[in-house]
Amino acid sequence: MKPQAATGPERAREFGHDASSGGTLVVVSGADDWRLTNQVRYLSGVALHWRTWSPSRPADAGGDWDHDHCAFCWVHFGDHIFEDDPDTQVAGFSTDDSVHWIGQTCCEDFHAQFGWVVATPRA
């Protein structure tokens, strides 16, 4: 007897919510990408600016904040390439307040899904 094909997780469905009508979740195919957690709660429709990295928070008792992570894939952002991470990003897209950072690749992959407005494109 042949094994039955596994029944996969329920397919992501496309919902045609209008982003301007109340900020409901927009679920599109590809929503099972490992990089997606709950970023829709704080990154839907935001403006993004290409910038040289700067810390997302001020120095505190622990000293200077020396790195951030891409909000999606967690790649490092820093002011130099870290010795232990040749993939460190020294520039990327950030929100108006520079709190959230998104790498070039993730910006390309998710910008349609999140409805981002690239206010400051990469030079």
Shorter beta-carbon distance to Zn ion: residue 14 or 79 = 79
Separation of alpha carbons 114 and 91, rounded Å: 21
**Long-range pairs for 56-65: beta carbons < 8 A, 24 or more residues apart:** 56/94, 56/98, 56/99, 56/100, 56/101, 57/99
By CB under 5 A, is residue 101 in contact with Zn ion?
no
By CB under 5 A, is residue 103 in contact with Zn ion?
yes
Site string for Zn ion, 33-62 (x = CB under 5 A): ------------------------------
Site residues for Zn ion per CB under 5 A? 70, 72-73, 103, 106
